Structure 1
Amino acid sequence: MSEVRVLVASRNAKKLRELERVLIAADVSGIALVGLDDVPAYPEAPETGATFEENALAKARDGAAATGLPCVADDSGIEVDALNAMPGVLSARWAGRHGDDEANTALLLGQLTDVPDERRGAAFVSACALVLPGSGQDAGDREIVVRGEWRGEIVRAPRGAGGFGYDPVFRPEGEDRTSAELSPQEKDAASHRGKALALLVPRLADLAARGD
């Protein structure tokens, strides 16, 4: 049986590897993951949704429509209690330029300088969508959106070289280490995206079994 190609609507190789590890851990075979750099370029709509779910679904719909492949997309970020759940959907461009991790983290830490330790609670949030090609107004079971959350707190200075984004300043509940100090396997087992991707595993396993 040939492998089913599934598009991951991202150019972040770490996100592809993360889903690969989740599939391996769940003993799902027959899925070949490809990223945006592996398919012909197509217009990507800006992330203008008010929620992570809206943005993830829009990206997955665009990818499936443009390539004819099942498409997985995620939208994730961090919600900080003391900032009224911001940066939220603006996490990737909090400092003004999309994807500038250092600037985003520095701005967040600056905004929390005077916030005491007991009020530095936060949660990483991830919404992941799977859209099968041909879906539209009557999508039905051809679209699924799931959500994962990871509670913790914002530390006062970055620690660790792993992960990306706000990982170096996020200490998960029950941990002495930041997310950036965890191994990939430890992070997969607990993280917001790991939890959300795990909820997609049954659908992806079904795709692999059907071979479509």
Structure 2
Amino acid sequence: MKLCFATNNANKLQEIQAMLGQEFKLVTLEQIGCYDDIPEPYETISENSVGKARYVWENFGINCFADDTGLEVEALGGEPGVMSARYAGPQRMPDDNMNLLLQNLAPFDDRSARFITVITLCINGDYQQFEGTINGTIISEKRGDQGFGYDPVFMPEGFEVTFAQMSMQEKAALSHRGRAFAKLVEFLKDKQEN
């Protein structure tokens, strides 16, 4: 089965292809001729995920899946949430986003947070969603140089290191994205067998 993963991130594509095995062929947006910046005008992570998958299906007629991820901080009422990538502005700079987050969180003792990833799969116009979450804490200064986004300030529950201090394999085994993709892979493999 050929599936478009609504991304142009080669690392993400490689990681998921390895999880799916050879019975599925993954292609990127670029490979299907989609050079558009898919709009994300929605107010929730779930809606953004559906919107991206729907865009690919309706404009290119290709079975696909799309993901959206956000960091939700308890003391900030769930911010940055759906605005995680653009928290400090449209330039989408991780350092700017982390600096603003740490500044906004400075007055609070409660530093609990969670990452959430929602994946939407569209096969022949039927939609299915898979969610992965992980709870943790926002530490007061950046630590580590692995990963991306908010990884240097997010310490998962039960660990003494941030995501940015873990190897890609360690993070993938317990992360929100890893959990959501594991559900997607299980669903696709089950579908293939039946």
Q: Is the pair's TM-score, using the shorter chain for normalization, greater than 0.5? A: yes
Does structure 2 conserve the Cα–Cα contact (< 8 Å) formed by 1:52 and 1:76?
yes
CA distance change for structure 1 residues 62 and 110 in 2, over 3 Å: closer, same or farther? same
1:107 & 1:143 partners in 2: Cα distance? 35
Unaligned 5+ runs, structure 2: none
Residue 5 (str. 1) matches residue 2 (str. 2): yes
In the superposition, the TM-score normalised over structure 1's length comes to 0.83
Partner of 2:160: 176
1:156 & 1:198 partners in 2: Cα distance? 31
Partner of 1:102: 95
In the superposition, the TM-score normalised over structure 2's length comes to 0.91
Within 5 Å, give how 1:93-132 maps onto structure 2. Answer: 93-116=86-109, 119-132=110-123
Partner of 1:64: 57
**Matched position secondary structure for 1:53:** helix
2:48 & 2:148 partners in 1: Cα distance? 20
Moved more, 38-47 or 83-92: 38-47
RMSD over aligned Cα atoms: 1.9
2:185 & 2:82 partners in 1: Cα distance? 25
1:12 & 1:102 partners in 2: Cα distance? 20
Partner of 2:16: 19
Partner of 2:170: 186
Q: Give, in angstroms, the shift of residue 45 of structure 1.
A: 4.2
CA distance change for structure 1 residues 206 and 44 in 2, over 3 Å: closer, same or farther? farther
1:9 & 1:92 partners in 2: Cα distance? 17
CA distance change for structure 1 residues 22 and 159 in 2, over 3 Å: closer, same or farther? farther
**Matched position secondary structure for 1:153:** strand
Partner of 2:82: 89
Q: Give, in angstroms, the shift of residue 84 of structure 1.
A: 0.6
**Matched position secondary structure for 2:186:** helix
Moved more, 84-93 or 7-16: 7-16
